[in-house]
């Protein structure tokens, strides 16, 4: 996508080509990812990935706003969506609207995401009717896991299958422009993706989804506290960083860093040092 993104342009990608989404929490990462991605999610996974928390449940709205502002400073063409954190929207549609308004006003992001299915259709409807685009999130809901447990794949029982279809339809009817489907058994995710009238973005769901999302730090090999089965590490930046830091240590210890190139001299000294070269 070229230029400032719009929800309409994004939605028009459905059926045209696969949609590429990743998480971003910082300005430098947004700068690198923006040219490659259709959507950057400022996910509340920031709590685990950046702050070392055990789950996403204690991330607050100010944290989401600060990281959203950082990402927005470097995004050029990708759609930016910010997670409404746990505790900021569940109570009522009105609470969701106050939080979503704050996030959008303070960051300038394009949309918010919230976790939950049919129970949250009234919240979604309220936001959409107030002009705030919403991305849904069904299946495995990290905000609802208990004490970091229950990272459980869904869609294994008939009840779960029918609930997932109900959730997907209710969110679409409430006006989401797309839905993230996380941790859902493949045939069920594929069937929802096929039937859904809105964009489907998979993470541990199905290649039949309209697009895919991963936590960037997972796919770069930067986060290793826990690696879900659905992650492919496309590189191992931890190893790369370790190698670079080893080189830095060696250079500091053997005195080859800093060299003259990295130091400051008076003009006279630098002229004489150049002449001496």
Q: Does 114 help bind ligand KIV (rule: CB under 6 A)?
A: no
Task: Closer to ligand KIV by CB, 26 or 257: give it.
Answer: 26
Out of 23, 63, 107, 168, name the contact with ligand KIV by CB under 6 A: 23
Q: Does 213 help bind ligand KIV (rule: CB under 6 A)?
A: yes
Q: Does 44 help bind ligand KIV (rule: CB under 6 A)?
A: yes
Is 115 known to be catalytic?
no
Q: Which of these segments, 39-47, 145-153, 159-167, 189-197, binds ligand KIV (CB under 6 A)?
A: 39-47
- For residue 140, which of 127, 130, 154, 129 has the smallest C-alpha distance? 154
Catalytic residue (one of 102, 129, 182, 246): 182
Q: Does 45 help bind ligand KIV (rule: CB under 6 A)?
A: yes
Number of CB atoms found within 10 A of residue 52's CB: 8
Number of residues that bind ligand KIV (CB under 6 A): 11
Out of 37, 164, 172, 203, name the contact with ligand KIV by CB under 6 A: 203
Interacting residue ranges for ligand KIV, rule: CB under 6 A: 23, 41, 43-45, 83, 180, 182, 203, 213, 215
Q: Which residues are designated catalytic? A: 182
């Amino acid at each position: 996508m070229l230029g400032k993104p719009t929800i309409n342009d994004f939605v028009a990608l459905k059926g045209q080509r696969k949609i590429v989404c990743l998480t971003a929490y910082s300005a430098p990462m947004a700068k690198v990812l923006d040219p490659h991605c259709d959507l950057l999610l400022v996910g509340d996974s920031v709590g685990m990935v950046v702050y070392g928390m055990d789950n996403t449940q204690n991330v607050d709205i100010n944290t989401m706003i600060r990281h959203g502002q950082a990402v927005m400073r470097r995004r050029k063409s990708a759609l930016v969506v910010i997670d409404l954190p746990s505790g900021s929207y569940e109570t009522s549609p009105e609470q969701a609207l106050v939080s979503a308004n704050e996030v959008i006003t303070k960051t300038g992001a394009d949309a918010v995401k919230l976790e939950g299915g049919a129970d949250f259709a009234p919240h979604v409807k309220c936001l959409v009717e107030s002009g705030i685009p919403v991305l849904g999130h069904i299946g495995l809901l990290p905000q609802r896991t208990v004490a970091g447990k229950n990272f459980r794949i869904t869609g294994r029982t008939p009840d779960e299958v029918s609930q997932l279809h109900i959730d997907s339809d209710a969110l679409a009817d409430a006006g989401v422009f797309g839905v993230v489907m996380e941790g859902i058994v493949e045939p069920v995710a594929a069937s929802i993706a096929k039937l859904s009238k809105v964009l489907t973005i998979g993470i541990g769901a199905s290649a039949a989804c309209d697009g895919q999302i991963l936590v960037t730090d997972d796919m770069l090999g930067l986060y290793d506290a826990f690696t879900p089965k659905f992650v492919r590490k496309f590189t191992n930046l931890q190893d790369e960083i370790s190698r670079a830091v080893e080189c830095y240590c060696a250079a500091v210890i053997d005195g080859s860093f800093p060299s003259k190139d990295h130091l400051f001299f008076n003009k006279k000294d630098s002229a004489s040092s150049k002449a001496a070269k």
